[in-house]
Amino acid sequence: MATNKSRLYPLEQIRNIGIIAHIDAGKTTTTERILYYTGRTYKLGNIDEGTTVTDWMAQEKERGITIVSAAITTFWTPKQGPFANIPARINLIDTPGHVDFTAEVERSLRVLDGGVTVLDAEEGVQSQSETVWRQADKYKVPRICFVNKMDKIGADFFATLASIKKRLGAPAYPINLPLGAESDFKGIIDLFDQKAYVWDETDPYGAKFVETPIPPTEKEKVEKYRHELIEKIVETDEALLVKYLAQEELDINDLKKALRRAVIDYKIVPVMAGSSLRNKGVQPLLDAVVQYLPSPVDIEKVEGINPKTNQKEIRKQVIEAPFAALAFKIQVDPHVGKLTYLRVYSGKLKSGTSVANSVKNDQERISRILLMHANAREEIPEAYAGEIIVVVGLKNTATGDTLCDGLAPIILESISFPEPVISLAIEPQTKADQEKLGYALSRLSEEDPTFRIKSDLETGQTIISGMGELHLEILVDRMHREFRVAANVGSPQVAYRETIKNTATAEGKYIRQTGGRGQYGHCFLRVEPMGRGEGFQFVSEIRGGAIPQEFISSIQKGVREKMDIGVLAGYPIVDMKVAVYDGSYHDVDSSDIAFKIAGSLALEEAVKRANLCLLEPIMKVEVTIPEEFMGDVIGDLSAKRAQILSSGHRANSVIITALVPLSEMSGYVTTLRSMTQGRGSAYMEPSHYEEVPQNIADKIVAKVKGNVKES
């Protein structure tokens, strides 16, 4: 157990970073090398052998992909630069690359101070690279780009650098260059020190590398990129600019300090080269993480809302400030129970104390505090500002909730997650599985905010929804393995939505007289369309007490319930504003249930008058194929109602980007492989919802209503 003294690192020596990238860019391999070189592990983990630390789940080992983000704490001391010989504590999160697990990336980026974006040197910037980059932009996370797989056939550092600038619009500048490429990749050239570092080919662990002069063939290239880098750095620093224009000698450490400030302000994104699998270039990357990515001190303060005053409040990221932390992940452990991951922004937290959940207006007791090393745990007595920890004992805290000192309440910005796009029906095989299924589903939905559950009242089935087929497949597999639930699963269905195009009004009246006390509810509703993705808004325009205030929430409840089950084809209604503007009540007979039913009846009638239509999820598809198949593939996509956005070349391949309805993409990867002799690959991610063409919508509605037999 670490002592309190050794754990209390100064805030400026802490780095909270995430490894983010497209699937198969090499995030987990890079993380494994970081853990090895920092002394956290004593052997190099390998994805193919299932020996990685961060991919610890059975499903991750079997499939060779990351499914859940894993947090690890490690330490590194740079040998040179402004932070030379000062040990830094690195809290590292390895995130998934597959779009189905986008929630893991979203919640990790929300609580991180910096990120390392890993790119494949042959593929360059891919679709998911763009997605994670936009997610990092949303939370203003400073980044370093690591161009990995420099040893791969077709690796091109400079083409990748160009695609970072073009596709990501990033102010990208290399701080080191690769020495060779493909099978000739030997090491890197540091642009600041103008020295080459060559890794010893006889050392299987990549721990040894030697400093050598820059080969004469590389000098011109080094001069060009060094000049561009220094010019960009001095642009961001007035004192250095004056010296530069006066042609004075610039100190390397001053340049590195200025680069650090520019990275934190997102004026420069440093780009580095390496090959994690061949153990080359990872130590300089670790140096750069410590040198250029921010500590909690650089972020300085965090903003939130005071729940008592509703005013904006600023909390300094220091140990002396009142305690505030954001819950960004829930994990259910079969031995320990519910684990809640927290990023502590200010103050300190002791085990055995109570804290306030300012979102739920509730008290929670912290029974234990743990430091996580993937799935291994280390118990600690207290945690401090700047740390990423796990606490045990919380009952009602969910992802995105704020925990804080009850005497200084604050609500920090929560985390927004995308809507699920695909659903399937699931039912227990036996009566005994019925209860276990309910428990398993509630536990998994607690962990994963993009996993939704609803019951189909007509069929009695449970419908689960997620971000993709793989997402649901993994969840069903986890139910079977972790919760021992035997269940029958239907085929995946597209998660359609309903919405309205026009404004309309309707009356809802529910009157029942059954000897004794009756039921009376009466309201008028107006429905108005909202912008795509804007959700639902309910307002009361009741004046003069036509309906008492206590019944307004009952009307809203009835409206919500009707929206959830839909009107046109049984799909949820979205992007709509509902206003209750008139009605009447009875002194004796009016009740919550009567107004709830009236609200539901009024909504059904109003949306029918408001030109109800179906929406379908549209996917952004990126297809990589050999050039000779381009015509066939574009023709096939066009037949699937695709909107072709662009096509471009990279090495010997053509990359086609298109928007295609999800309903047309079932089994597409198999189709593509047969069309391209197994040489094509496709990547899909949700883009947005769009109206379904009328002829197709009619078929869907008819099918749902049972007018058409399924083929």
The beta strands (E) that lie in 317-448 are given as: 324-333, 337-346, 348-350, 354-357, 362-365, 368-373, 376-380, 382-384, 388-392, 402-404, 411-412, 422-428
d(CA 620, CA 346): 40
Confidence band of 60 (pLDDT split at 50, 70, 90) = low
pLDDT for position 2: 36
* Most confident of the following: 76-85, 421-430, 520-529: 520-529
Confidence band of 535 (pLDDT split at 50, 70, 90) = confident
pLDDT for position 29: 87
Quote the tokens at residue 206. 């990549």
- The ranges assigned to domains in the chain are 14-298, 301-412, 422-494, 498-610, 615-704
pLDDT for residue 364 is more than 90: yes
Buried b (16+ CB within 10 A) or exposed e, 484-495: ebebeeeebebb
pLDDT for residue 53 is more than 70: no
Contacts of 679 (CB under 8 A, 6+ apart): 625, 626, 629
pLDDT for residue 5 is more than 50: no
Across 532-540, average pLDDT: 91
Confidence band of 6 (pLDDT split at 50, 70, 90) = very low
pLDDT for residue 475 is more than 60: yes
Contact 321, 410 (CB under 8 A): no
* β pairing state of 497-500 and 612-626: antiparallel
d(CA 87, CA 92): 15
Flag the least confident range among 1-15, 170-184, 475-489: 1-15
pLDDT for position 711: 34
pLDDT exceeding 70 applies to what percent of the chain? 92
pLDDT for position 7: 53
Quote the tokens at residue 671. 């189709």
pLDDT for position 62: 63
Q: Please name which of 62, 77, 69, 79 lies closest in space to residue 31, comparing C-alpha atoms.
A: 69
Confidence band of 616 (pLDDT split at 50, 70, 90) = very high
pLDDT for residue 108 is more than 90: no
d(CA 684, CA 703): 27
Confidence band of 42 (pLDDT split at 50, 70, 90) = low
Confidence band of 59 (pLDDT split at 50, 70, 90) = low
* Most confident of the following: 23-27, 433-437, 590-594, 704-708: 590-594
CATH number for the domain running over 615-704 = 3.30.70.240
pLDDT exceeding 90 applies to what percent of the chain? 46
Architecture of the domain defined by 301-412? Beta Barrel (2.40)
d(CA 204, CA 225): 31
Q: What is the CB neighbour count within 10 angstroms for residue 678?
A: 9
Confidence band of 709 (pLDDT split at 50, 70, 90) = very low
Confidence band of 708 (pLDDT split at 50, 70, 90) = very low
The beta strands (E) that lie in 227-323 are given as: 269-273, 301-305, 312-316
CATH number for the domain running over 422-494 = 3.30.70.870
pLDDT for residue 283 is more than 90: yes
| 354 burial via Cβ count (<10 Å: 0-12, 13-18, 19+) | exposed
pLDDT for position 491: 80
Q: Do domains 422-494 and 615-704 have the same CATH topology?
A: yes
pLDDT for position 332: 79
Cα 616 to its chain centre, rounded Å, is 22
pLDDT for residue 238 is more than 50: yes
Length of the chain counted residue by residue: 711
pLDDT for position 141: 93
Residue with tokens 């994690």: 276
Is 498-610 CATH 3.30.230.10? Answer: yes
Q: Which residue has the higher pLDDT, 537 or 456?
A: 537
pLDDT for position 587: 86
pLDDT for residue 559 is more than 70: yes
Q: Which residue has the higher pLDDT, 85 or 639?
A: 639
Contact 394, 338 (CB under 8 A): yes
pLDDT for position 417: 82
pLDDT for residue 162 is more than 60: yes
pLDDT for position 64: 64
d(CA 293, CA 702): 56
Confidence band of 233 (pLDDT split at 50, 70, 90) = very high
pLDDT for position 529: 95
Q: What is the mean pLDDT of the chain?
A: 87
pLDDT for position 194: 92
Cα 377 to its chain centre, rounded Å, is 24
pLDDT for position 666: 81
pLDDT for position 710: 42
Express each pLDDT in 671-697 by its tens digit.
888 888 888 888 888 888 999 999 999
Query: What is the domain class of 14-298 according to CATH?
Result: alpha beta
Across 209-231, average pLDDT: 93
